[in-house]
Structure 1
């Protein structure tokens, strides 16, 4: 069902509100286990990253139909809680989310209407675009930042739609995507193994069972209320904390030309005599 936005009757929206209601008060106790997962595992104890992630999610919830133009990359071993983290965001935005995209063709290829009108998307171990991480970076940069997207629907003419997707990558790879030196679109988190489902950490199964069981109706309504009431008036999604994980991605993404420029930066800075260049 489509209804008009009150502020402008000429504009139509498919946004019909969220699944979970806003409460009068917040029970922080039922949220603590999830907050601990974000801080200890996803942000690896980095307070800057933790606050950014909370603000990013709150921005997403408070601004349906808008793009943050910033994506979050979660690197880390399997079974440490990355999916438990994003499953909650996908549930909060369940009417407007794609929670498991594994191929970039779902964004750019034929019949990509699945991503239309989606405010949240999860790229889970996304396959390389044309076997080139640089290709993935180029395409994803456009998807993350562009305000429109071309939609191809079966038996329908191609059309341009508003691009409102906000994206989280989940990966076990050391180098999931190439980043430019001046990248302003990615928060890269090297997630910490605090708990893990594995043969070596069988005792952590109980932890993850308890975590999953805490995701109740009460939990989601309290979290929705927390996110809707969080003050993000000073938050700019593109002012992204630099992390060691991002520095490493930028370093390994450099081309041979970049390496030469950095190695001889001082010479380039003050100019190289033409006679030396011709040698």
Structure 2
């Protein structure tokens, strides 16, 4: 090879701007990102690629080799999420920050991937969680199927799981027929989202009762069917402002998620998870991302009052579990699951007849649910409910608002209510409760509220006042020939005598 006038071979002449002792960039690498014609040709194994802006002259660090294997992995499996500093990792199927990708693959490789026109990019709304749905090539589906495959079996082979569920539901109804209805409802609730992946039930299961009954044993097996799409959380996760644990979940089991002090504070959060179709996903140092909510919820608790339920609740199927069994039931269940029983139970649920059960099927009214509703009543509501039901030594007759509030304060002393509401709040609470609980007659027509709140003109019949705020039971009215004011005044005087007797009544605590 002919030397140049500088004494170097012709193919080693330095390019303009480079020191003479620095080799020029290989032509294939120099073209990366320039024309966007696909990935570059990898250089020879011994080729050295200087870092941008630096030389490899004497006394300087040599540039690192570009890992083209890592670059091809990024091009094939990673997708940039537009408007964020996150990417979709198709190998591990998770959303990670670009900083984490740089640490894993190297800054130069990631820069080359980001600069490539062949690099794939999607909008945040194109990252979806759509079980059982074909989202198309332009979107990313966080769901890629269940990891557990059903194993064909007979009903007798899963009898031990059904025996455990029957035990858990054995106190949910006073008759065997009622218990069987509850068991069937729960099984269909479990089977529907497995038969129709992505089905969002508008109800939740609540199993509460003593420790050691097998609640966790049964529902841990159900969660195992869902694999990574099932999760068990506690109150810490529910209270945390970051809820990325909820992303891409089909079954959420809340284990003691609500303490007694947090019943009302967390009630709306629980409703939101159960009923909303879209939920915001918040992860640490990541932008908020909205995702389809396909999570079905089960609550497990050892508390007597795990949740605060309202009358007319349509969201919760409540089961109070009995004491634990003393025989070998739990050992037989554990052995069944250890031998691959979860796959057999999945097969049983997939073949279960739903019998018209849908995502909007209303839960049954169990004794346990009725008890939780009573415990969830506010003091004013519980007082008026007992008064209307005849459970108090106080006649149901016309009285003034002040008289009923005095009776309520006495009732609070007897029942241990430490913080009775003020008079105005008490009146509003009672009035709303009776309006929302108007009864229905035999012909199906509404009878109206059991109490009516009205201001009556008494014309000084009751002390110096001209008007009295009055509670009028349904069906009461002034007799013929008397004004309403005169009649109300007489009723108030009669109720005062009954009120005096009620105040003199003694409870066991008083004695």
TM-score after normalising by structure 2:
0.48
| CA distance, structure 1, for counterparts of residue 148 and residue 155 of structure 2 | 17
| CA distance, structure 1, for counterparts of residue 324 and residue 259 of structure 2 | 29
2:43 maps to none
1:30 maps to 157
| CA distance, structure 2, for counterparts of residue 148 and residue 220 of structure 1 | 30
| Greater Rg by CA | 2
Please list, as runs of the form range in 1=range in 2, the aligned pairs for 1:226-265 lying within 5 A after superposition.
226-232=348-354, 234-237=356-359, 238-259=361-382, 262=385, 263=387, 265=434
Between Structure 1 and Structure 2, how many residues are aligned? 267
- Whether 1:76 and 2:216 are equivalent positions in the alignment is no
2:262 maps to 132
Tell me which moved more, 222-231 or 238-247: 222-231
Measured after TM superposition, the shift of residue 261 of structure 1 is 5.3
Residue 89 (structure 1) aligned to one of 222, 225, 228? 222
Q: Is the 8 A contact 1:26 1:225 kept in 2?
A: yes
- Whether 1:47 and 2:208 are equivalent positions in the alignment is no
- Whether 1:208 and 2:330 are equivalent positions in the alignment is yes
Determine helix, strand or coil for the equivalent of 1:20: coil
Q: Is the 8 A contact 2:135 2:141 kept in 1?
A: no
- Whether 1:170 and 2:300 are equivalent positions in the alignment is yes
Determine helix, strand or coil for the equivalent of 1:74: strand
1:151 maps to 281
| CA distance, structure 1, for counterparts of residue 140 and residue 369 of structure 2 | 39
| CA distance, structure 1, for counterparts of residue 217 and residue 133 of structure 2 | 36
1:268–1:20 CA distance, 2 compared to 1 (3 A):
closer
- Whether 1:18 and 2:146 are equivalent positions in the alignment is yes
Measured after TM superposition, the shift of residue 8 of structure 1 is 4.8
Q: Is the 8 A contact 2:212 2:324 kept in 1?
A: no
| CA distance, structure 2, for counterparts of residue 270 and residue 80 of structure 1 | 44
1:18–1:51 CA distance, 2 compared to 1 (3 A):
same
| CA distance, structure 2, for counterparts of residue 211 and residue 55 of structure 1 | 21
Q: Is the 8 A contact 1:261 1:268 kept in 2?
A: no
| CA distance, structure 1, for counterparts of residue 355 and residue 145 of structure 2 | 22
Q: Is the 8 A contact 1:71 1:187 kept in 2?
A: yes
1:268–1:235 CA distance, 2 compared to 1 (3 A):
closer
Q: Is the 8 A contact 2:222 2:342 kept in 1?
A: no
Measured after TM superposition, the shift of residue 218 of structure 1 is 4.5
Determine helix, strand or coil for the equivalent of 1:37: helix
Measured after TM superposition, the shift of residue 31 of structure 1 is 0.3
Structure 2 unaligned segments of length 5 or more: list them: 1-89, 94-127, 389-433, 439-447, 457-467, 471-491, 493-511
Residue 109 (structure 1) aligned to one of 240, 255, 269? 240
| CA distance, structure 1, for counterparts of residue 454 and residue 367 of structure 2 | 37
1:225–1:71 CA distance, 2 compared to 1 (3 A):
same
1:8–1:212 CA distance, 2 compared to 1 (3 A):
same
| CA distance, structure 2, for counterparts of residue 181 and residue 107 of structure 1 | 24
1:15–1:39 CA distance, 2 compared to 1 (3 A):
same
1:153–1:43 CA distance, 2 compared to 1 (3 A):
farther
Tell me which moved more, 106-115 or 180-189: 106-115
Determine helix, strand or coil for the equivalent of 1:140: helix
| CA distance, structure 2, for counterparts of residue 239 and residue 37 of structure 1 | 24
Q: Is the 8 A contact 2:208 2:302 kept in 1?
A: yes
| CA distance, structure 2, for counterparts of residue 269 and residue 134 of structure 1 | 27
Determine helix, strand or coil for the equivalent of 2:266: helix
Measured after TM superposition, the shift of residue 224 of structure 1 is 1.4
Q: Is the 8 A contact 1:15 1:64 kept in 2?
A: no
Calculate the aligned-residue CA RMSD, in Å.
2.7
